[in-house]
Amino acid sequence: MSRVAKWKLEKTKVKVVFRLQFHSTHIPQSGWDKLFISFIPADSGKATAKTTKANVRNGACKWGDPYL
């Protein structure tokens, strides 16, 4: 009688990296010099990351570096 080898399921982890670039429009011109974005997961409710501060010009704001 031959034994059939049981294949173990390989536990492979897949790492996904998102490169996000933000651009904000329709910002009120009065009272806004710089702007940053905080990332807050719904399950924890605490900020996990922040973008750098970007200057607001003519009601628009653009972050130059993509966020990882």
| Tens of pLDDT, residues 27-52 | 887 888 898 888 888 998 998 888 88
Q: What is the pLDDT of residue 46?
A: 92
Q: What are the structural domain ranges in the chain? A: 23-62
Using the predicted structure, report yes or no on whether residue 1 has a pLDDT greater than 60. Answer: no
Strand partners of residue 10: none
Please list, in sequence order, all residues whose beta carbon lies within 8 angstroms of the beta carbon of residue 39, skipping any fewer than 6 positions away: 47, 48, 49, 50
User: pTM for the full model?
Assistant: 0.57
